[in-house]
Structure 1
Amino acid sequence: MVNLGALPRMPGGERCAYRLVNSKFPTISVFDDVANADEFEALYALQALTNPRLQNEAGNLNLIPTEEIPFGIRGCSYAVAPFTHVNLDGSRFSDGSFGVLYLGDTIDTALAEVRHHQETYWRNVPDLSFERFVFRGLACDVEEAGMVDGLAIPREHPIYSPVDYSASRRLGLALKEDGAPGLRYPSVRAPGATCWGLMTPRPVMAIVQTAHYEMIWSGSIVSVNRVSPT
Structure 2
Amino acid sequence: MVKLNSLAVLDGESLQAYRLVNSKFPPIALFDDVADAADFETIYRLQAITNPRLQNEIGQLELIARSEIPFGIVGCSYATAPFTHVNPAGSCFSDGSYGVLYLADKMDVAIAEVRHHQGKYWANVHGLSYERFVFRGLRCTFSDEGMRDATEVPLTDPIYTPDDYSQAQLLGRAAKQDNCLGLRYNSVRSSGSVCWALLTPRPVTSIIQAAHYEMIWNGQIISVNRLGQLCAE
- Which band: TM-score by shorter chain? over 0.9
Unaligned runs of 5+ in 1: none
CA distance, structure 2, for counterparts of residue 76 and residue 163 of structure 1 = 31
Q: Deviations for 1:15-51, whole angstroms, at most 9, x for unmatched residues?
A: 0000011011222111111111111101101111111
Residue by residue over 1:76-129, the C-alpha shift from the partner in whole angstroms, topping out at 9 and shown as x without a partner, is 010000000000110010111100000010110000000000001011111111
> What SS is found at the alignment partner of 1:30?
helix
**Quick one: distance in 2 between partners of 1:179 and 1:112?**
29
Mapping of residues 21-170 of structure 1, within 5 Å: 21-170=21-170
Shift of 1:58: 0.7
Q: Deviation per CA, 1:187-210, whole angstroms, max 9, x where unpaired? A: 111111110000010111100011
How far apart, CA to CA, are the structure 1 residues paired with 2:17 and 2:205? 11
Letter in 2 for 1:71: F
The answer as to whether partners of 1:212 and 1:228 remain within 8 angstroms in 2 is: no
- The reply on whether 1:216 has 2:199 as its aligned counterpart is no
Q: Which SS does the other structure have where 2:9 is aligned?
A: coil
The CA distance in 1 between the partners of 2:107 and 2:170, in whole Å, is 28
Q: Partner residue of 1:6? A: 6
TM-score scaled by structure 2?
Answer: 0.96
| Aligned 8 A contact 1:186 1:193 in 2 | yes
Which letter does structure 1 place at the counterpart of 2:38?
Answer: D
What secondary structure is seen at the aligned counterpart in 2 of 1:108? helix
Give 4+ residue runs of structure 1 displaced > 2 Å after superposition. Answer: none
Per mean C-alpha deviation after superposition, the further-off stretch among 27-36 and 138-147 is 27-36
Q: Which amino acid aligns with 1:152?
A: E
1:211 and 1:228 in contact (8 A); partners too: no
CA RMSD of aligned residues (A): 1.0
Deviation at residue 228 of structure 1 after TM alignment = 6.6
**CA displacement at 1:158 relative to structure 2:** 0.2
CA contact (8 A) 1:60 1:85 kept: yes
| Number of equivalences | 229
Maintained 8 Å contact 1:17/1:141: yes
Q: How many angstroms apart in 2 are the aligned matches of 1:27 and 1:99?
A: 17
For 1:105, the aligned partner's letter is D
Structure 1 residue 154, shift from structure 2 partner: 1.2
Percent identity of paired positions between Structure 1 and Structure 2: 62
* Contact 1:17–1:103 (8 Å) recurs in 2: yes
Task: Letter of the 1:203 partner, please give it.
Answer: P
Query: What is the match of residue 191 of structure 2?
Result: 191
